[in-house]
Structures are given as C-alpha cells and as structure tokens.
Structure 1
C-alpha cells in the first residue's frame, strides 16, 4: 500500500477516535448537568444538638418553604393539622384546616421510608407491627430528643387496644429509615411534619389526630379481604375512614362494646 494511502487511513482512524471521545465526553457532561437536584440529600438540622435547639434549627430550615407552599393552597402555618397513613400504599398524609371552610385540606403526601410488620393491628410488645386505629398526640408526646432525629409518640395503646389487652410502647413517627413498629419518614421529611405539628400545638390545637389504616379503605379494596382474619376489624376502621372522607373533619372516636364508635 502506498505511504500516502497508509497515512490517509491512519488520519481517518484517528479522526474517528477523536470524534467518539468528544461525543462520549459531551454526553457524560450533559448527564452530569441534567442530574436532578432532588437526588442530593437535603440539608437537615444537626442531630447532635440538644432537642429544643434541634427542633428550632429544623424549623428555621423548613418553615419558609412550608409557609410558601401553604399560602399557595390558601392555608396558614400554625393552623390545626391531621395525619393519616396507609401501610399498603406506604404513604402518610398531612392535612391542614382551611380557615375559610373550617374543613381539613390535604397539604402533602409523604412516602413512608420504612415500616415493619405486615397488614393487621399491633397485638403485643415486640411483634414489630405498626398499629392500625385511631390515635391522638398532645404536646407532651413530641420528642425532639429522639435517637431518630425528631419524633412524636402516637399514643399506642389507646383505649381500644387496652380493651383488647394489646400491649406495646413507644410507637413513633420519626426520622431516619429504620423501623421497629414505627413509621420512619427520613430526617428531611420528619422536619417538615414535626414542624407543622409543633406549630399547630403552639398555636392552640390541644392535640392532633393520627389515623393509621392497613390500606386506602375503598369498598373495592376492603372487599378483597373478606376472607382474611382482620376483615371485621377493618370494617370497623372503614367507618372512621368514611366519616372523614365525607366530611373532611376527623370524627371524635370512642370505644363501645369493644368496637370503635364515631361521633
């Protein structure tokens, strides 16, 4: 082969290699530039701070964004809150009372980062079950000193649980991604949840309600469980679920003859 042809082939080969390298570099850089910001861990308060300072630092971080997003929905920071969670869907909803309608409006739905156990109520200490039922949280149950960043105790066992001789303690909604019968929400998400609940209690709400369900209790979803052990219990839970769905006001819950009753 003539030297000119060899040189031309070599030059063509090198040029192709340079083009390939340039394209690879371009796509690599573009991929880095287009990486979504939410893949990064958000800033959170220092967990080594003493509880009150930790809660205050968390509120300072998240309050501006919460106030902005609440205002977009016509809601106010510090107004009464209501929480309900669904184990099968792994979702926790935070509702805020609308001053105009006096009813609760859905503010945010948070993914549950970790929960232990299976569908069905908590029966005994150490069974790793997340409870199902109707609970409430006064200010005394907030725990800014939690080993899981920030937390609040949902109040298990309630009067229904005690009636049925169910045992257990320290069932929390907290930060981190570890669960032993609790709902773990990550540190960033619990800062928002805790801050909204703390603000509502400071502004005069005596307690906020926490309703825990096995799943979203539509007629169709409940019917699929008719052969399961907890079907009758879940029918009773659905009464409370339907009450809120129809009115957007959490019912007053009592226990009569071993069943939940709703007013």
Structure 2
C-alpha cells in the first residue's frame, strides 16, 4: 500500500466524479423494481382499439420544443398514423436550435431512429430511452454529445424530461411496439410547429437553413400521415431517397421520390415565408420611422418651451447684455423709450 497506489486511487475517483458531473442524463441503475414491465392500462388499450390500432402496431414520436409537447402517433389498420396522445414536456435544456457539442446543455433536434437497444429500463430518471444522438447528420457535422434521453424525473441537462407517469406510459407503448415485431420507431424533434408563421417569427435565427431542411420531413408526415424514410447526403437530410441502401453523408445526393402535394406545399410555404419576412421588415421600418418622428416632435416641443422660458426670463429679469435704451415687450420686438418733451409748460 504505497503512496503511488493512493495517488492512482485518487485519480480514479476524480475521473469517475467528472464522468458523473459531465454526463447529460446519466443511466446509472436505480433499484431493482419491475417498473419497465408495468402493463398498459385498460383505458390506453381501449383508446388504441377505438382509433383502429393496438399496442403491437408501429408508433412514431414527435417533439416540439417551443410548445413543450411530445406526441405519440400509432399506426392504424388503414396503414396511416393517427395521433394517440399528447404529453407535456416537463423541462428541456437550452434554446431553440440543434445540439452542437458535449456539455453545451442543449437538447437535440432532427430525425432519430429508436431501437430496443436504446431503451433504458433502469434509468436513474425513472425510465428512459436514448434519442440516438449523435445520428448520421450530427456526426458528419462533427457534433458531439452522449446520454441525450427522453426520461422522467422532470429535470434536464440536455434531455427531454417528462413526469414519471408520462414516461411510464410512453415507455410501455414503445415496449409493446417492439414486442409486436417492429424493429424501431421514428423520433422527430422540431424547434416548434413548422408553420410559416412560426418560421417567419424566427426568420433571423442562424438555424433557419437547418430548420428548412427538417421542415420537409415534417411536412411530408403532415400530408401523408406516414413517417418519411430519411438519410443524409451532402451533409443534409434527404427524405424518401430513390436509391436503396445507406448513403454517404458527405456524398452526392440521389434523386428523392417526388410527391406533388409536398412539392407544391414547400413552394407555397417558401413564397409565404418570403412575403411574411418582407411584411415584417416593412413593419419594423415603419416602427423605426414612427419612433424617430416621435423623438423629433419631442425635441421640438422641448425646444419651444425652452425658448418661451428664455423670453419670459428676459422680460422679468432683464438681460445684462441688452441696450438700456430698449425696453423688451411681450411681442419680442424692441420698442424705443419715449423721447422727453422740449416744450416748456
């Protein structure tokens, strides 16, 4: 038991402590209960049945940061997806925009694929599933981060935190989807609902190009109610590529399967966004002009009353530099003093 041993032990403890402190949402085992196997409630099963679905059917999850909502969509017997339930997000970290690097405490945005291996039944945050960050898009852009979860416990350091009750139900829905034979489900994370009004509101954001990129996938789902197939090429997302097999994330993009309705919507939204941006610019210019005019009027009024004060002060207090033969009058025009009479009485 030498001093060297204790130095090594101390270094190990420090490294372990730093690992715990820097992890976004750590996955240390907490207890040995069976919370991850709690069955879905009868109400949930009946609700799924009522919409033409079942626990075993496919699912998709959408997150909207600004609205603090998480949606679970389920595949129906007709092949399309319907919204099953919306959950309130308790907390998420950072601002609107994607995650860039480990430790920035920013919650990710984009498209992610959740597999059974990303489920965490023994999370120290009740239950959790990993978002899969960094995905193919994140990696080609050199973005880093780990343990970015959707979990319970209502606290976040780069994750999306739900209530324990909420994550328990979401976890069970995912578990039953996997038990039904589905190998994955899609997670879509957006800064806000991707309307042109919201895009225009944030038109000066440095993330606008990225948001326009993922908006295509958002709009495809809105139109078809089926999750798009996504991949990455030319360092951008591509949706429903025509080629089979994975793409080179930095390579040339192949054509994508065209959807006339989607193309028309994207073009219309781009024009609408340009009009809204122009209107917003005009409104900002009008506001600036009105503020400048108001400031000028205020300065003019102040100058007017300042001049009146000077004249009144001269009337009652005299002006040391004024000709003694001149008497001030209210009109402001100098009047000569009366000339003494030369006639004798």
* TM-score of the two chains, using structure 1 as the length reference: 0.78
The 1:240/1:248 distance shift into structure 2, 3 A limit, reads same
Note the alpha carbon deviations across 1:33-73, whole angstroms, 9 max, x for none: xxxxxxxxxxxxxx96526x2211xx23x432210221232
- Give the superposed CA RMSD: 1.3
Asked if 1:242 corresponds to 2:219, the answer is: yes
Q: Secondary structure at the match of 1:216?
A: coil
Paired residues for 1:194-205 under 5 Å: 194-205=171-182
1:84 to 62, 65, 69: 62
**Aligned twin of 1:161:** 138
Instruction: Tell whether the 8 Å contact from 2:30 to 2:123 is kept in structure 1 after alignment.
Output: no
1:70 to 38, 48, 61: 48
Separation in 1, partners of 2:179, 2:157: 29
Separation in 2, partners of 1:137, 1:98: 20
Structure 1: runs of 5+ lacking an equivalent: 1-46
Runs of 4+ in 1 over 3 A off after TM superposition: none
Separation in 2, partners of 1:144, 1:103: 29
Instruction: Tell whether the 8 Å contact from 1:63 to 1:195 is kept in structure 2 after alignment.
Output: no
Separation in 2, partners of 1:73, 1:48: 36
2:117 to 117, 140, 143: 140
Separation in 1, partners of 2:197, 2:207: 16
**Aligned twin of 2:32:** 50
Separation in 2, partners of 1:54, 1:172: 18
2:193 to 198, 204, 216: 216
Separation in 1, partners of 2:200, 2:63: 20
Separation in 2, partners of 1:116, 1:228: 18
User: Shift of residue 218 of structure 1?
Assistant: 0.9
Q: Secondary structure at the match of 1:155?
A: coil
Separation in 2, partners of 1:162, 1:74: 38
Asked if 1:149 corresponds to 2:130, the answer is: no
Note the alpha carbon deviations across 1:166-220, whole angstroms, 9 max, x for none: 0001111011110011111111011110000010011111101100000000122
Q: Secondary structure at the match of 1:233?
A: helix
Aligned residues: 212
Separation in 2, partners of 1:126, 1:49: 27
Note the alpha carbon deviations across 1:212-239, whole angstroms, 9 max, x for none: 0000001221122222111111100111
Structure 2: runs of 5+ lacking an equivalent: 1-28, 241-345
Question: Which is greater in Rg?
Answer: 2
Q: Secondary structure at the match of 1:67?
A: helix
- Greater RCO structure (CA 8 Å; 6+ sep): 1
* TM-score of the two chains, using structure 2 as the length reference: 0.60
Higher strand proportion: 1
